[in-house]
Amino acid sequence: MKMSQLTMGTDLEGFLRNRKTGIIESAIPLISEGKENPRDLGGGYKILHDNVLIEFNVPPSKTKKEFILNLREGLKRVSNIIGEEYDFIAQASHKFNKKFLKHQDATVFGCSKEYDAWELKVVTPPDCRTNLRSCGGHLHLGRADFENPSDEILMNPYSKVRVIKLMDIFVGIPFTILENNDVTNKERKKLYGRSSFHRPTEFGCEYRVLTNYWMRSPKLTDLALDLMMLAVRAEIQNKAEKIIQSVSSENIISIINTASKDRAKDLLKQLPIPNDLKHRVLSFEKQEFSALLEKEWELGVPFGF
Pick from 141, 137, 118: nearest CA to 192: 137
The partner residues of 218 in beta bridges, in order of sequence, read none
pLDDT tens digit string along 126-135? Answer: 877 899 999 9
Q: What are the chain's domains?
A: 3-285 (3.30.590)
How many CB atoms sit inside 10 A of residue 187's CB? 17
Pick from 208, 209, 225: nearest CA to 217: 225
pTM metric for this prediction: 0.95
Please tell me the predicted confidence (pLDDT) of residue 125. Answer: 82
SS3 content of the chain, % helix, strand, coil (to 5): 40, 20, 40
According to DSSP H, which parts of the chain are helical?
64-82, 157-167, 173-179, 185-188, 218-236, 240-245, 249-257, 261-268, 275-285
pLDDT tens digit string along 224-268? Answer: 999 999 999 999 999 999 999 999 999 999 999 999 999 999 999
